[in-house]
Structure formats: C-alpha cells, structure tokens
C-alpha cells in the first residue's frame, strides 16, 4: 500500500516535470516569423542568434548542466570559475558562519534553558535582534570588519544563531521533570547530567533549530554574495546576469535549490537519528 | 519504636508556599530495616509529598527524617525511587537505562561489570531477551518492571515506590506484585510504598499506614493508624483470600477509607511525641469486629 503510493507519487512527479518541460519548451521556441521580420532589428541588437534573445529553452539548460558538470572545478581568473568552485566557496562560508553560530548558540542556549532568570534577562534582547534581516547587518559588518569575505561569514553567523539559540533554550527548559528527578536521585553530577540526560532529551528540538538555521543561512548566503561579490554561487548569479546569460542564471538557480535540498536532507537525517519515541 | 529505628520520621509537616494550612503535620513514623510499609489515603492527602521528602526531592516545612543515623537533606543513591510514570529515558535501551543507574552508583566499574550487574536485575524482573529494546517497544507492565529493576540495581538501603502499579491492568499487576514480593523477601529490602489498592497493601505490606484526609476545611492530614499485617509472611496472592484474618484486615482498611478518614485522629504520646496507634485488626475476635464484618463492597479506593 505504502509502496504503491510512493511509486504513484514518483510517477506523478516525473509526469509533472515532463509537462513543465514541455510547456517551457513550447513557450521558448524561437519564433521564426518574428525573427524574419525583425531580422534587421535583431542584427542591431547584436547577434540575432536565438540564444541571446528571450528565455533559454530547456535544451539549452540541459547543455549548460552537462557543460558545467563535465568540468566543475576549472579556474580561469576571478570572473570565470567552475560551478563546483563557486558552490564550494558558498558552502565554506555557510559552514564557517553556521559552526560559529552553533559554538555560541548551543552553550548559551543550554545556559539560558537551565536558568529561568537568565532566560528572562536575555529575552528582550533576543526578541529585538531576532527579526532583524541579516543583510541589514552588512554595512555595519563591512565597516567594522573591513573584509568582505569575513563580513559574509558574519552575516551567516548572525542569521543562524537565533533559531539555534531559541530552540536549544526551549528544548533544555522543557526536559521532562521526571528524567531530571531520576538524575537527582542517582546523584548524577552536573556535566554528566548535561551530556547524558539534558542533551539527548533536548536533541530533537535542538536539531530542529539547527535545520531551520541552515535553511536560513543558505537563503542568506546568495544575497550576501551578490552584495559582497568576488566568489560564491550568489556572485555567480550576479555575474551571469551582468553577462546577460540567463541560461547560466537559471542553471545557478537550479544548483541553489539542489544544494539547499541536500543540506536540508542531511539535517533531516541527523534529526531522525536523535528523535526518540516517548 | 526504639530510638534507633532504621528510618525515623519526626514531626514532619509540609506547607506549600501560599497555602493557608499545611498539607500534613505531626507525622511520626518509625520503619525498621527490612520492613515493607504501605501508605494508604485519599487522593490529595499528601502521600506523594511525603515520599518526595523521604527521597530528598522535596524538602519539609517542619520536622525531619533520619535514615540509618543520617538526616535526609537531599536525593541520595541510598534511596531508590520507582516513579509512578516509570520515568525511563526513552532514548536509551532497557540495558542502557539500567547501566546508567549502575554507573552512577559505581562510577569506577568497568563496562563489563556494569553490564553483568545490570543483567542480573533484568533477569530478576524476567525481562531477559528485551535488553536492547527501547522503552517505547515495551508494554506498560514491562516498562514498570524496568523501573523496578533500575531501582533495585543500585542496591539502595531503602526503596520508595509511588503507586508503581497504578497504570497497570489487574493481571499484569498481580504478576509484578508477586515478583516484587519475592525480590523483597530475597533481598531483605526496606520498602516504602504508596498504593490505592487495599488488597495490594495486604499482600505486600508488613505495616499499613492509614493517612487521614486533607480537606479544605478540616485539619491537616496525619497518619491516623498503623495497621499491623498479621498474616503469615508466606502468604501468596493465590491463597491470601482463604486466610481467616484477611477479611478482618481488609474490612478495617475499607472502613477507615470510607467512614473514618476525616474523623479526628487520636495519638499515643510516647516521650512527648504523638505516635499513631498500632492496630491489629487481624487478631480481633469475631465479636469485636462483627460490626464491620459486612462483605467489602469497595475493591479500590481512588
Ligand atoms: N507543587 C505544589 N504546590 C502547591 N500545592 C501542592 C503541590 N503539590 C501538591 N500540592 C498539594 O498538596 C496536596 C497533597 O498532594 P500529593 O500529591 O502529595 O497528594 P497524594 O496523596 O499523592 O494524592 P494522589 O493519591 O492523588 O496521588 C494536594 O492537596 C495538592 O493540591
Ligand atoms: Mg500521589
């Protein structure tokens, strides 16, 4: 039953993709008549090749995928790097910012979750800082840090810290009292209690926070790299837009989606491993 | 009631912050080593509160508890607790739940030694073969048995149980009662147990403490009587009903719960301390108890 549903769903997905590609294909077919009438205009615009006018066709995207996939790591100077290198730059920044955020948010969240006093004291700050768009920090970061690469890492840091902090604090604060009582009656020390009772009990909530953070970080890195420039998938999108290569822009959009999905799946797996049934 | 009983509860009282009167007061109880004591009383009279104070998880407002010559001032590995809601850690297997407790008790033990020691208690509660299951894969009765094994595994000087079988069906409850009885007689364990089930108390306990009710208008709750179980130690669940003393004791308990739990309590003063009177309803002659010899109608008081 379940298997047949999964199979049907997969078939339906393929069908939908097929329909989408077909519609796309038809919509972007080079219009011969228009091209013939306006051939002089087309010449004026430079080229007249159907590639540079209008939206790219699915086939062109397919070609681009093959081209990029066949040589993802070439490096021909600052404005011409393989897609693999660009994605790797973005991932490195996201990872660095995310890990920094985790290094701050997890211990702090633990602390906040354990102490209602600290929770209340810090809550107003969290509430004010949380809704700030991470990109709003960019000018301040650029001014104080003065290095664009570090600034984008800082922006990732600042945007991924809140969900992790809040979820960790909440997870730690809502560990079932019975389990804490068990630890108390067994005279379990503070550290052992933190690592063997509170941490596993709060792990699903904490990992949910990390998953949300990672999702936001991946959203933000594209925008940050567009602003900052230099390297990364966001810069790639911006650069290809300036080159008027919509094919590459669409290809990059696809890449962003796929990488984001893989990141989310990774955290989904971690979450699954930490989840327990009560 | 010697001055060096194993556990001495003296003038214990508890008032929650903001409450106009204490939940209970003037509780004086002595428990000897190896004794099995049950406490019965209506809901809300403060049984769990007493147990939490004994375990050290809660603190008293007045009076004190001395166990084995030392005052109880916080949780300790000397007192094993079986919680009402089993309180197993759901992310650990059965074996790991017990190993966690064993490791807390003996931090220096090797991994194998901890495992072997835990296994002994898993076998004791007849859960052999379920070691690698998670609590969510166990039935309610099995979970409760793991909780009991965990409490026994740390070999506490005293075991505290808060309605350990409350959530179980009658059949499961019976088998676990039998197990608890045999484990306790093997290990000479001192036990303090809360129950709502009169039959369970008569089967398991050497002494049954009857706690008066804590109504909003009446006085604070107290231990009104200590009923001594005079049935032979060799009693079993199967034959206990045939013993002539069984219904005398049972009727006395039910009568207390139904008719007398709100009546004023009369204390025996010994050395300036008010102790609840010890009663032996099993030993009274037929005439004395004829007024209460009607067939018991209540099986379980909730
Ligand atoms: N944390 C608390 N704060 C204030 N009052 C409390 C608290 N815990 C318990 N009480 C009150 O203390 C009284 C005794 O509670 P307790 O849980 O000890 O009852 P109990 O005898 O165990 O009842 P039951 O048989 O229903 O478990 C109750 O009237 C309850 O309202
Ligand atoms: Mg209770």
In three-state form (DSSP H/G/I as H, E/B as E, the rest C), the secondary structure along A126-186 is HHHHCCCCHHHHHHHHHHHHCCHHHHHHHHHHHHHHHHHHHHHHHHHHCCCHHHHHHHHHC
- The CA-based dihedral angle spanning residues B14, B16, B19, B23, taken in that order and rounded to the nearest 10 degrees: -30
Q: Which residues of B46-71 are buried (b: 16+ CB within 10 A; e: fewer)?
A: bbebbbbbbbbbeebbebebebeeee
Residues B175 and B36 occupy one common structural domain? yes
Confidence of residue A44 (pLDDT cuts 50, 70, 90): low
CA distance A199 to B69: 37
Nearest by Cα to B290 from B226, B237, B247: B247
Q: List, for residues A9-24, the tens digit of each pLDDT value.
A: 999 999 999 999 999 8
- Do residue B106 and residue B246 come from a single domain? no
How is residue A103 written in tokens? 């290094």
Q: Which domain holds residue B195?
A: 32-59+162-302
* Residue B2 domain-assigned (yes or no): no
In a domain, B10, yes or no: no
Reported as a single tens digit per residue, the pLDDT across A239-253 is: 888 888 888 899 999
Question: What residue of B is the nearest CA neighbor of A179?
Answer: B87
Same domain, B279 and B135: no
| Tally of CB atoms within 10 A around B282 | 21
Instruction: Give the position of tokens 């972007």.
Output: A28
Cβ distance A182 to B80 less than 8 Å, yes or no, reads no
pLDDT of residue B238: 87
For β-strands B24-31 and B7-14, DSSP reports them as antiparallel
Q: Residue range B237-254: average pLDDT?
A: 91
B27 lines ligand 1 (CB under 6 A): no
A181 touches B: beta carbon within 8 Å: yes
Q: Cα–chain-centroid distance for residue A20?
A: 25
Q: Which residue has the tokens 């003065």?
A: A146
Q: What is the CATH number of the domain that holds B46?
A: 3.40.50
Instruction: Say if A182 is an interface residue toward chain B (CB within 8 Å).
Output: yes
Residue A33 has pLDDT above 60, yes or no: no
* Direct distance between the N- and C-terminal alpha carbons of chain A, in angstroms, rounded to an integer: 27
Pure H helices in chain B = 47-55, 94-105, 111-124, 140-153, 170-187, 198-204, 244-255
Task: Give Cα A140 distance to the centre of its chain.
Answer: 23
Q: Same domain, yes or no, for B116 and B247?
A: no
Task: Say whether both B225 and B108 belong to one domain.
Answer: no
DSSP B7: E
Domain boundary among B155, B185, B203: B155
Coil, helix or strand at residue B121:
helix
d(CA B30, CA A69): 81
Q: Is A222 exposed, middle or buried (0-12, 13-18, 19+ CB in 10 A)?
A: buried
pLDDT tens readout for residues B23-49: 999 899 999 999 999 999 999 899 999
Average pLDDT over residues B132-140: 93
- The answer for B 57-86 residues in CB contact with A (under 8 A) is 57, 75-77, 79-81, 83, 85
Of B125, B155, B185, the residue that ends a domain is B155
* Domain-located, residue B267: yes
Residue ranges covered by each domain of chain A: 1-55, 57-274
- Non-local (6+) Cβ contacts of B179 within 8 A are B124, B125, B126, B145, B148
Which of the four pLDDT bands, split at 50, 70 and 90, describes residue B117?
A: very high
The answer on B275 and B185 residing in a single domain is yes
Q: What is the mean pLDDT of chain A?
A: 88
**Residue B129 lies inside a defined structural domain of this protein:** yes
- Among the candidates B134, B155, B176, a domain finishes at B155
* H/E segment holding residue A267: helix A246-274
CA distance B265 to chain A (A): 33
Whether A278 contacts A207, CB under 8 Å: no
Cβ of B268 closer than 6 Å to ligand 1, yes or no, is: no
Shortest CA distance from A177: residue in chain B = B87
For the ranges A131-145, B89-103, B179-193, B287-301, the maximum mean pLDDT occurs at B89-103
For the CA of B47, the nearest ligand: 1
B154–chain A nearest CA distance, Å: 9
Q: Are residues B201 and B297 in the same domain?
A: yes
Say yes or no: A191 contacts chain B, CB-CB below 8 A: no
- pLDDT > 70? residue B252: yes
Q: Do residue B181 and residue B253 come from a single domain?
A: yes
Residue A3 has pLDDT above 70, yes or no: yes
Q: Which segments of A186-232 does DSSP mark as H helices, in order?
A: 190-193, 199-228
List all residues 6 or more positions away from A133 whose beta carbon is below 8 Å from its beta carbon: none
Number of structural domains (chain B) is 2
Closest-CA residue, ligand 1 atom 9, reads B49
- The answer to the question of residue B74 being in a domain is no
Task: Give the DSSP H/E element, type plus range, for residue A108.
Answer: helix A83-114
d(CA B301, CA B177): 18
Residue B222, pLDDT > 80, answer yes
Best CATH choice for the domain A57-274 from the list 3.40.462.20, 1.10.1060.10, 1.10.10.60, 1.10.3720.10: 1.10.3720.10
Residue reference for tokens 């499961």: B172
B234 C-alpha vs ligand 2 centroid, how far in Å?
A: 30
Residue A184 at interface with chain B, using a CB cutoff of 8 Å: yes
pLDDT tens across A55-92, in order? Answer: 888 888 888 888 888 888 888 877 778 888 899 999 99
SS3 B243: coil
B135 and B173 share a domain?
A: no
| B45 pocket-lining for ligand 1 (C-beta < 6 Å) | yes
- A4, two tokens: 């047949």
CB B285 within 8 A of CB B293: no
CA angle B241, B247, B252 (to 5 degrees): 145
Query: How far apart are the CA of B183 and the centre of ligand 2, in A?
Result: 24
pTM of the model: 0.82
- Clarify whether residues B195 and B49 are in a common domain: yes
Same domain, B184 and B292: yes
Closest CA to B98 of B172, B148, B160, B138: B148
* B9-45 CB burial, b ≥16 within 10 A, e <16: bbebbbbeeeeeebbbbbbbbbbeeebbbbbbbbeeb
Name the B residues in 143-162 with CB < 8 Å from any A CB.
154
Which ligand is located closest to the Cα atom of residue B302?
1
**Ligand of minimum distance to the alpha carbon of B211:** 1
- Average of per-residue pLDDT values in chain B: 87
Q: What token pair was written down for A141?
A: 């970061």
* Ligand 1 lined by B104 (C-beta under 6 Å): no
Same domain, B168 and B148: no
Which one of B79, B87, B104 has the shortest CB-CB distance to A188?
A: B104
């Amino acid at each position: 039953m379940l298997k047949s549903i999964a199979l049907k769903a997969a078939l339906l997905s393929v069908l939908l993709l097929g329909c989408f590609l077909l519609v796309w294909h038809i919509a972007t077919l080079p219009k011969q008549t228009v091209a013939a009438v306006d051939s002089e205009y087309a010449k004026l615009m430079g080229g007249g090749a159907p590639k540079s006018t209008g939206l790219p066709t699915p086939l062109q995207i397919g070609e681009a995928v093959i081209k990029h996939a066949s040589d993802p790591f070439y490096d021909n100077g600052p404005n011409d790097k393989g897609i693999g290198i660009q994605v790797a730059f973005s991932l490195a920044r996201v990872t660095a910012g995310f890990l920094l955020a985790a290094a701050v948010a997890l211990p702090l969240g633990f602390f906040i979750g354990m102490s209602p006093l600290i929770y209340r004291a810090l809550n107003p700050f969290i509430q004010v800082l949380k809704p700030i768009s991470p990109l709003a920090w960019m000018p301040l970061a650029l001014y104080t840090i003065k290095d664009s690469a570090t600034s984008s890492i800082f922006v990732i840091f600042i945007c991924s810290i809140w969900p992790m902090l809040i979820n960790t604090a909440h997870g730690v604060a809502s560990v079932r009292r019975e389990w804490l009582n068990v630890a108390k009656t067994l005279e379990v020390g503070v550290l052992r209690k933190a690592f063997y009772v509170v941490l596993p009990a709060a792990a699903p909530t904490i990992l949910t926070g990390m998953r949300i953070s990672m999702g936001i970080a991946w959203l933000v890195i594209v925008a940050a790299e567009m602003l900052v420039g230099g390297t990364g998938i966001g810069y790639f999108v911006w650069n290809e837009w300036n080159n008027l290569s919509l094919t590459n822009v669409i290809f990059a959009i696809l890449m962003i989606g796929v990488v984001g999905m893989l990141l989310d799946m990774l955290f989904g797996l971690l979450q699954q491993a930490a989840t327990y049934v009560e | 009631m010697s001055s060096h009983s194993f556990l001495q509860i003296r003038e214990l009282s508890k008032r929650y912050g903001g409450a106009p009167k204490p939940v209970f007061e003037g509780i004086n109880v002595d428990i000897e080593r190896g004794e099995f004591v049950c406490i019965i009383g209506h809901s809300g009279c403060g049984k769990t509160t007493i147990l939490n104070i004994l375990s050290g998880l809660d603190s008293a407002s007045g009076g004190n508890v001395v166990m084995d010559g030392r005052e109880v001032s916080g949780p300790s590995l000397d007192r094993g607790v079986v919680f009402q809601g089993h309180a197993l850690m759901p992310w650990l297997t059965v074996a790991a739940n017990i190993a966690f407790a064993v490791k807390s008790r003996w931090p220096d033990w090797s991994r194998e030694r901890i495992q072997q020691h835990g296994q002994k208690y898993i076998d004791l509660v007849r859960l052999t073969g379920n070691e690698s299951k998670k609590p969510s894969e166990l039935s309610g009765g099995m979970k409760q048995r793991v909780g009991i094994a965990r409490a026994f595994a740390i070999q506490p000087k005293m075991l505290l149980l808060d309605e350990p079988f409350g959530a179980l069906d009658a059949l499961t409850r019976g088998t676990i009662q039998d197990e608890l009885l045999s484990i306790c007689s093997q290990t000479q364990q001192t036990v303090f147990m809360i129950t709502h089930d009169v039959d369970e108390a008569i089967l398991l306990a050497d002494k049954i403490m009857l706690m008066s009710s804590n109504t909003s208008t009446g006085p604070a709750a107290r231990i009104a009587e200590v009923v001594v179980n005079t049935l032979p130690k060799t009693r079993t669940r199967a034959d206990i009903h045939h013993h002539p003393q069984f219904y005398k004791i049972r009727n006395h308990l039910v009568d207390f719960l139904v008719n007398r739990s709100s009546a004023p309590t009369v204390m025996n003063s010994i050395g300036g301390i008010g102790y609840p009177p010890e009663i032996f309803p099993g030993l009274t002659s037929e005439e004395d108890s004829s007024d209460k010899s009607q067939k018991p109608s209540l099986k379980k008081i909730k």
